[in-house]
Amino acid sequence: MKKHIGIIGYGNLGRGVALALQSSPDMTLTAVFTRRDPSSIAVPGDAISCSLDDITNWQDKIDVMILCGGSATDLPTQTPAYSAQFNIVDSFDTHANIPNHFAKVDAAAKAGGHLALISCGWDPGMFSLNRLYANAILPQGSDYTFWGRGVSQGHSDAIRRIPGVRNAKQYTVPVEEALAAVRAGTHPRLTTRQKHTRECFVVLEDGANAQAVAQAIKTMPNYFADYDTTVHFVSEEELRKNHSGMAHGGMVFRSGTTGQQREHTHVIEYRLTLDSNPEFTGSVLTACARAVYRLAEEGATGCRTLFDVPPAYLSHMSDAELRQTFL
Amino acid sequence: MKKHIGIIGYGNLGRGVALALQSSPDMTLTAVFTRRDPSSIAVPGDAISCSLDDITNWQDKIDVMILCGGSATDLPTQTPAYSAQFNIVDSFDTHANIPNHFAKVDAAAKAGGHLALISCGWDPGMFSLNRLYANAILPQGSDYTFWGRGVSQGHSDAIRRIPGVRNAKQYTVPVEEALAAVRAGTHPRLTTRQKHTRECFVVLEDGANAQAVAQAIKTMPNYFADYDTTVHFVSEEELRKNHSGMAHGGMVFRSGTTGQQREHTHVIEYRLTLDSNPEFTGSVLTACARAVYRLAEEGATGCRTLFDVPPAYLSHMSDAELRQTFL
């Protein structure tokens, strides 16, 4: 019997989950829930597209619901609401608000007798796991996270809000010298500017002042002022042609020491190079849905993160097969 | 109350565990058990060195015993024997024999009402975890493991058994071109020869024939015949001075695809660069002892691997603190 999976929200991430489910022998996409007109959504296989308004009717037909909305406005309300009715997975990624999100979801899921696994993806998610493992192994050391090369949605949005800008994409780029220093085990202290540069591709409105726009970008507090920023002005056509990709990635390092005089340095690096951010994130969420199903079957309720999930629960293979294949 | 930890076997790995315990706020080294004369062993802090013959007297004084013997002859008998009496951690690393080792330890630990966590370290151990996570996320793809640059004890021993050889160290070295191809996401099919080279530093007996020894090494089946092997003849003094280090490391990759036409490639890389193999491995075993303690407190018995352990159990931090710090 395949597990019945539902998807809430069918943008890039939702489609990434749908693709990942096609590669999962033990799960099937049963329904997609949308705020749009369900008939306008093309869903794969035997899945049904439904209005989000009808979701309550699906409580006995969906084993795990994967929430594919955004962290800014969708998930803060959707995850608590739906975890009262379903076992759920989300990718809530506003780091500072995770404790608050966790508490709300935990209360709702417990009240409904369901299980929620939040903040799944790669950061938070796989990067978080690697930070935890590496810190447990090497309690004395330094952590480093680098992102990119990849598009930052938040920074692209910030540029688009500048008067005179019609469209923009912003790439976050790790600085090679900083990576080399961390990999060499020198435990460098790196400023914000030393870790990443920012590269912007901007389409201007007709008649806009390019120099003023570049200046507005480079001096923007929080987003750009602390970085070495490059601004390229391009046509809408060039932006669409060369900067529509969804590649991303990054690295998590822990550089720690052991020894009587702490004379031995160890560097742990976890690196992701992703052609498609939403398809990779969707693949993580899909593996997480499998773990939620198994934990819920065991009677678990409330909110969890990947920190609480035995790694074997993410796989469809048996424990003996896992030991034979991967140990 | 600190957890009381015992160490069985006080070679390089045992000393690595002792050092790691000094960096662990929640654990203390209570006793070291040895087959040697206990008075000949210098143990740190308030720890006591004891004869292995007296170990049964320590059943109510040790929370978790960390076995630091070798996989060839020590652990196959020690782990089943001691897991009947203690909660234990071992680093059994003979991959092909893990299913058999697991079954024996599981039966012994269950009969004794104790918990055993086997095959902890980096390979098996952290590399295994990364293989499992990456395969659960990307079910369609290829796995690659590279080791080195570092000394292989088995290959060094094999050289020392050749007539005319007084001493030897053998380095396993990953091939840069192979690493580059894997990182580029080209899913290469790599032969044994294409993945690693072998570099040997050999001290000859007086009057031995260097050319015959080099030939014997390079043509040795399984160990060297399938590799490009370099042999350097050095003095005993040079070997001691330049080749006594215990640095090691390696990389685990998964290169997988997603997308309607599998047009997107994702590369997951986990890399370790270790100044001291035994101190890093000892650090992993120490974090594992913490997890064993917590699982045993919850009533778990029998044999487990890291695949079964919620990552949070390896850390001394609270769940809320972990979410705040690492998620």
* Contact: B276, A268; criterion CB under 8 Å: no
Best of B142, B323, B325 to disrupt the A interface (most A CBs within 10 Å) is B323
| Whether the complex's predicted ipTM surpasses the cut of 0.90 | yes
Best of A307, A313, A317, A322 to disrupt the B interface (most B CBs within 10 Å) is A307
**Which of A140, A284, A310 is opposite residue B310, by nearest beta carbon?**
A310
* Contact: B322, A99; criterion CB under 8 Å: no
Best of A323, A324, A325 to disrupt the B interface (most B CBs within 10 Å) is A323
DSSP for A262-304? S-EEEEEEEEEEESBHHHHHHHHHHHHHHHHHHHHHTT--EEE
* Contact: B314, A137; criterion CB under 8 Å: yes
In chain A, the largest separation of any two C-alpha atoms, in whole Å, equals: 67
For residue B76, is the peptide bond before it cis, meaning its omega torsion is within 30 degrees of 0? no
Q: Are A31 and A48 in contact (CB under 8 A)?
A: yes
Residues of A in contact with B263 (CB under 8 A): 275
User: pLDDT tens, position by position, for chain B (327 residues)?
Assistant: 899 999 999 999 999 999 999 999 999 999 999 999 999 999 999 999 999 999 999 999 999 999 999 999 999 999 999 999 999 999 999 989 999 999 999 999 999 999 999 999 999 999 999 999 999 999 999 999 999 999 998 899 999 999 999 999 999 999 999 999 999 999 999 999 999 999 999 999 999 999 999 999 999 999 999 999 999 999 999 999 999 999 999 999 999 999 999 999 999 999 999 999 999 999 999 999 999 999 999 999 999 999 999 999 999 999 999 999 999
pLDDT per residue as tens digits for the range B47-60:
999 999 999 999 99
pLDDT per residue as tens digits for the range A296-319:
999 999 999 999 999 999 999 999
How much is the pTM? 0.97
How far is Cα B287 from Cα B317, in angstroms, rounded to an integer?
Answer: 12
Where b means 16+ CB within 10 Å and e means fewer, A53-90 reads eebeebeeebbbbbbbbbbeebbbebbbbbbbbbbbbb
How far is Cα A46 from Cα A37, in angstroms, rounded to an integer?
Answer: 18
Residue A163 identity (one-letter amino acid) = P
HEC-encoded secondary structure of A160-181: HCCCCEEEEEEEEEECHHHHHH
Taking CA atoms, what residue in A is nearest to B91?
A327
**Half-sphere CA count of B57, side-chain side, radius 13 A:** 7
CA distance A204 to chain B (A): 31
